[in-house]
Amino acid sequence: MERLRIPNLATYLPIAPSDLLLTAPIAARVLFGATPAGRVVQAAAFGVYAGSAAIDWAARADAKRVDFEATFGIDPLSPPDASEEDRREDIARLVETLDAGYQPMRIPRKELAEEVDRHLTEFLAELTGQRLETSAQVRQFMLAQMIFPFALGAADPLTGDVAIFKSVGVFEPHVIAHEFCHRKGYLKEVEAQVLAYLALAGSGDPVLEQSAYCERLDRQLWVLADRDTAKYNELLSETGLREELRSGFEFRHPTEQTYARLVGPFMKGAYDARMKLTGQNGLSDYDEGFTNFLLAIERET
Ligand SMILES: [Zn+2]
């Protein structure tokens, strides 16, 4: 099979080049004042960031993409609506499957990321006929975390850098797979949601399958709860989902702490607007669009 390697050099550096770029002007001023050395530091930070991005961009020119409409018969940006009954049935099915096959999460993040990357690469290769190989590195920190306190992870579309901010328990394989989809060039959120889900749900690995089903269950409940935390928790407790798994859902929609409560709504609005500017439907692509698409392609088959 045809093979293409994207170097993702930025992902192997100890600090994210995007963070270097953001902090270089302050660091240079503190360390060197208004001297030429300060300008050299800033130029070097820019060079590392832009250089890594340019190398990936050139390599990516030959990458093959999944054609969603040809493959699934449905555009993930405009799937047919699911009814409330569809959602409730889906929730019942997911809870039954999850309760019966519970898997404790024991794999360290580094190994998990390599496992997720392997399945995602294979899944995409089946659809495109090309093995698109990318880095399996995951950071613990990027400055984006301060800007988007509600996010679980982030990806820098230019360098392919990925960070997972929190320990996300059973959701971790899906969060990693979602960010790795961005790394492989699927920048739209609903595309990353759908490809991550399908790659994990069809992986044959019970830990990865569980994560995909948990993501789908969480998103279904969130839509059904009209994105209201109290209602979500009520619906969650009514599902009968076993305790080991249910406790892992509580952090997904927390009653927000001071900083996140102040910054969260504003940045969510800004993020929603940015998504719309890039041809997406907005934050609903993560949950409503994602679950509508899955239900629709399953109806087709
Ligand atoms: Zn994303």
Which two three-digit tokens encode residue 190?
A: 């609903």
Q: How much distance in Å is there from the Cα of 155 to the middle of ligand 1?
A: 7
138 HSE (CA, 13 A, CB side) = 28
Q: How much distance in Å is there from the Cα of 36 to the middle of ligand 1?
A: 39
Q: How much distance in Å is there from the Cα of 88 to the middle of ligand 1?
A: 26
- The whole-number pLDDT of residue 296 equals 96
Could you identify the residue written with the tokens 């979500």?
232
Q: What's the rounded mean pLDDT across residues 225-251? A: 93
Whether the Cβ atoms of residue 286 and residue 209 lie closer than 8 Å to each other: no
Contacts of 226 (CB under 8 A, 6+ apart): none
Q: How much distance in Å is there from the Cα of 179 to the middle of ligand 1?
A: 6
- The whole-number pLDDT of residue 151 equals 82
Q: Please tell me the distance from the alpha carbon of residue 267 to that of residue 228, in angstroms, as a whole number.
A: 18
Q: How much distance in Å is there from the Cα of 70 to the middle of ligand 1?
A: 23
Q: Please tell me the distance from the alpha carbon of residue 269 to that of residue 288, in angstroms, as a whole number.
A: 17
The structure's pTM equals 0.93
Beta bridge partners of 153: 164
Q: Please tell me the distance from the alpha carbon of residue 265 to that of residue 191, in angstroms, as a whole number.
A: 24
- The whole-number pLDDT of residue 22 equals 84
H-type alpha helices, the chain: 17-32, 36-60, 68-72, 84-100, 109-128, 144-147, 172-183, 189-201, 206-224, 229-238, 243-246, 258-277, 284, 290-300
Q: How much distance in Å is there from the Cα of 40 to the middle of ligand 1?
A: 33
Task: Answer yes or no: is pLDDT of 124 > 80.
Answer: yes
Of 23 and 86, the one with more pLDDT = 86
Whether the Cβ atoms of residue 6 and residue 134 lie closer than 8 Å to each other: yes
Q: How much distance in Å is there from the Cα of 178 to the middle of ligand 1?
A: 6
Contacts of 253 (CB under 8 A, 6+ apart): 222, 229, 232, 233
Q: How much distance in Å is there from the Cα of 35 to the middle of ligand 1?
A: 39
Domain borders along the chain are: 2-60, 68-300
Q: How much distance in Å is there from the Cα of 237 to the middle of ligand 1?
A: 28
Q: How much distance in Å is there from the Cα of 27 to the middle of ligand 1?
A: 29
pLDDT tens figures, 249-282: 988 887 766 666 666 777 788 888 888 888 898 9
Burial of 212 by CB count in 10 Å (0-12 exposed, 13-18 middle, 19+ buried)? buried
Whether the Cβ atoms of residue 291 and residue 223 lie closer than 8 Å to each other: yes
- The whole-number pLDDT of residue 259 equals 63
- The whole-number pLDDT of residue 34 equals 75
Q: How much distance in Å is there from the Cα of 1 to the middle of ligand 1?
A: 28
Q: How much distance in Å is there from the Cα of 154 to the middle of ligand 1?
A: 7
Angle at 162 between CA 161 and CA 168, to 5 degrees: 170
Q: How much distance in Å is there from the Cα of 33 to the middle of ligand 1?
A: 38
DSSP 227: T
Q: How much distance in Å is there from the Cα of 259 to the middle of ligand 1?
A: 22
Q: How much distance in Å is there from the Cα of 4 to the middle of ligand 1?
A: 23
pLDDT tens figures, 160-219: 999 998 888 999 999 999 999 999 999 999 999 999 999 999 999 999 999 999 999 999
Q: How much distance in Å is there from the Cα of 231 to the middle of ligand 1?
A: 25
Sign of CA dihedral 12, 14, 15, 20: negative
- The whole-number pLDDT of residue 258 equals 62
Sign of CA dihedral 28, 32, 35, 40: negative
Q: How much distance in Å is there from the Cα of 150 to the middle of ligand 1?
A: 12
Contacts of 4 (CB under 8 A, 6+ apart): 59, 62, 63, 64, 130, 131, 132, 133
Of 61 and 146, the one with more pLDDT = 61
